[in-house]
Structure 1
Amino acid sequence: MRTSRPPYAGSVKQPVGDAMGEVSALRYDTAPERRQSILDTVEGAGFVSVTELTRRLGVSDMTVRRDLRKLARDGRVRIVHGGVSALRPALHSPEFTGRAEEHAEGKQAIGEAAARALDSRATVAIDAGTTTYAAMQALPPDFVGTVVTHSVPVMQLALTRGLARVVGLGGELLPSSQAFVGPRTVEATNGLRVDTLLLGAAAVDKHGIYVSTDNERPTKLALMGIAERIVLLVDASKFTTSAPVLLCGWDAITGVVSDAPPPPAMARRLAELPEGVRVVG
């Protein structure tokens, strides 16, 4: 039986914002710190645009381009049209990278909030998807817990960061989501237990959570079945889009993190969840 706890109680450090409540971009005191942040981002994503780096770092376009030229001269990145790419081929598909850049600011805020709410020694399952991937990107350096995942990009980033322990769930690769799915993936969850599942979705409405294909559903349900709490991570676009396959109703969800309030009719239902809805960004 799933137990609930106060949403993010005692574990969330509020980001510094201005008088309007907007979160400021990260700023680094020295160029080496800034360039390391660029390297970490590129290693995780495979490709990052100059525009995105300017927004993340809170510096000018000229400063970012100067840092990129320095990193390229040092043989650490490759400058390409519009941005920078990792030297070694990324496991991400162009489709995954493109989705990651849609609503990127909201996904980053959601991922950071979800990561801050985790205990540093937690065992956490991270679902496939670009919003849940943002949570993996946001795991702090002092995280010494275990990550369970079927997402190839999450596994890749975990290897890059040298996490203490990662449990990868194998199976048949679904190119569209860059994740393993199918009976072997489901079977791989047998005997596992996680504190929290960070769940992604293609769409949500008052009836529940939806995914794009039937292939995804069994693996997501298997991950849900091994989790003490299930936190749904969705950006605002998921409230207004649709997807064909119903994954589950709201009764299965512990809490929601989003970058915008849900529509009124849905908000009433989500307010009944054990941890409610947390709006960030």
Structure 2
Amino acid sequence: MRYDSAPDRRRSILDAVEEAGFVSVTELTRRLGVSDMTVRRDLRKLAESGGVRIVHGGVSALRPALHSPEFTGRADENADAKRAIGEAAVRGLPATGTVAVDAGTTTYAAVQALADDFRGTLVTHSVPVMQLALTRDLGRVVGLGGELLAESQAFVGPRTVEATAGLRVGTLLLGAAAADERGIYVSTDNERPTKLALMDIAERVVLLVDATKFSAPAPVLLCAWDRITEVVTDTTPPPALTERLQAAGTRVRLAR
């Protein structure tokens, strides 16, 4: 959407910064449909009025956000694909359902895409997801505590796994670092137990990955494809992987 009115643009910038804590100039240019020069002029005006703080590469909130600029930076990568995947993933979810949300920027995009009238329960170990759900008043939030992993902005470890005991969810929105014919992968062993615990309490496991994950390197095998109910992605997986998904009975849904 193009914002030709300066007040509308600046209000949109303030909303984005309040939600994310940091937004890059590149992302604002894309969102607002205006030039880099126009965005920078708006940022100067907002900074002069005391609404935001200009930092290298973008703008930050005056009050610190719960999630870091690093998380926001990763969210900006392939942002259009993640947005489309998130919207497709939540399409059809019941407004009063129980949904577990894994850590990651693509799963975060799915929570962003939830309708304002969602009044279900979100179960998550992701700090950004907790913050967003509370900001938007999205139903109930069950937070899984533990040790905070700075890189993923999520709680992990034995206490996080223990917190899943006795819980049940209809759908898990799962993230991953990579995927191939063998299965799906994560970057570190620290993440694996929490993801597996979330999978164990879910009736449906929906993997959210963009096309870059089909060729990305990641060292730790999380699981084989028979644990995954559905994959939501932005492009058709490579032929060998498509064949493996069909053999495993894993449905593929393309986000348009």
- The aligned residue for residue 81 of structure 2 is 106
SS of 1:215 mapped into structure 2: coil
Whether the aligned pair in 2 keeps the contact of 1:43 and 1:160 (CA below 8 Å) is: no
CA distance in 1, matches of 2:119, 2:12: 20
The answer to whether 1:256 aligns with 2:231 is: yes
Give 2:210's aligned residue.
Answer: 235
Q: Which has the higher contact order (CA 8 A, sep 6+)?
A: 1
Q: Could you tell me how far apart the structure 2 residues matched to 1:165 and 1:82 are?
A: 35
Q: Distance in 1 between matches of 2:9 and 2:97?
A: 29
Is 1:200 aligned to residue 170 of structure 2?
Answer: no
Counterpart check, 1:211 vs 2:186: yes
User: Is contact 2:225–2:250 with CA below 8 Å preserved after alignment?
Assistant: no
Where do 4+ consecutive residues of structure 1 move more than 6 Å? none
Q: CA deviation at 1:200?
A: 0.4
Deviation at 1:148, TM superposition (A): 0.8
Please give the alpha-carbon distance, in whole angstroms, between the structure 1 residues aligned to 2:250 and 2:184: 17
Deviations 1:40-65 (A, max 9, x none): 32223221112212212333435434
Equivalence for 2:55: 80
Letter in 1 for 2:26: T
Q: Deviations over 1:51-86 (max 9, x none)?
A: 212212333435434543454444332233332211
User: For structure 1, which segment, 258-267 or 102-111, has the greater mean C-alpha deviation from structure 2 after superposition?
Assistant: 102-111
Offset of residue 239 of structure 1: 0.4
1:275 Cα deviation from its structure 2 partner: 6.0
Q: 1:42 aligns with which of 14, 17, 21?
A: 17
Aligned-partner Cα distance in 2 for 1:208–1:124: 23
The sequence identity of aligned pairs, in percent, is: 77
Q: Secondary structure at the match of 2:155?
A: strand
> Equivalent residue for 2:134?
159
CA distance in structure 1 between the partners assigned to 2:115 and 2:85 by the alignment: 14
How far apart, in 1, do the equivalents of 2:241 and 2:73 lie?
28
If each structure's helix is expressed as a fraction of its own residues, which one has the higher value?
Answer: 2
Please tell me the residue identity of whatever aligns with 2:85.
I
Task: Report the TM-score when normalising by structure 2.
Answer: 0.90
Amino acid at match of 2:144: L
What residue in structure 1 maps to residue 119 of structure 2? 144
CA distance, structure 2, for counterparts of residue 88 and residue 36 of structure 1: 17
Provide the residue aligned with 1:52 in structure 2.
27
Deviation of 1:91 (Å):
2.3
Determine the C-alpha separation between the residues in 1 that align with 2:168 and 2:8.
37
- Cα 1:140–1:72, aligned 2, differ >3 Å: closer, same or farther? farther
Contact kept? 1:43, 1:157, Cα under 8 Å:
no
Q: CA deviation at 1:102?
A: 2.0
Deviations 1:194-231 (A, max 9, x none): 11111000111101011111111111011011111111
Tell me the residue number matched to 2:244: 269
8 A Cα contact 1:44 1:137, kept in partner: no
Residue 280 of structure 1 pairs with residue 245 of structure 2? no
Matched-pair contact (CA < 8 Å) for 2:3–2:34: no
**What is the distance in 2 between the residues matched to 1:136 and 1:263?**
28
Aligned partners of 1:274, 1:59: CA distance in 2, in Å?
45
User: CA 1:71 to 1:186, structure 2 compared with 1: closer, same or farther past 3 Å?
Assistant: same
Over the residues paired in the alignment, what is the CA RMSD in angstroms? Answer: 2.2
Structure 1 stretch 140-149 or stretch 33-42: which is displaced more? 33-42
Judge conservation of contact 2:83–2:109 (CA < 8 Å) in 1. yes
How high is the TM-score relative to the length of structure 1? 0.82
Alpha-carbon displacement from aligned partner over 1:128-181 (angstroms, at most 9, x marks no partner): 111111112222212221111001111122222232311100001112211111
Aligned equivalents of 2:74 and 2:218: distance in 1? 16
Partner SS state of residue 93, structure 2: coil
Q: Which moves more between the two structures, 237-246 or 60-69?
A: 60-69
> Alignment length, in residue pairs?
256
Runs of 5+ unmatched residues, structure 1: 1-25
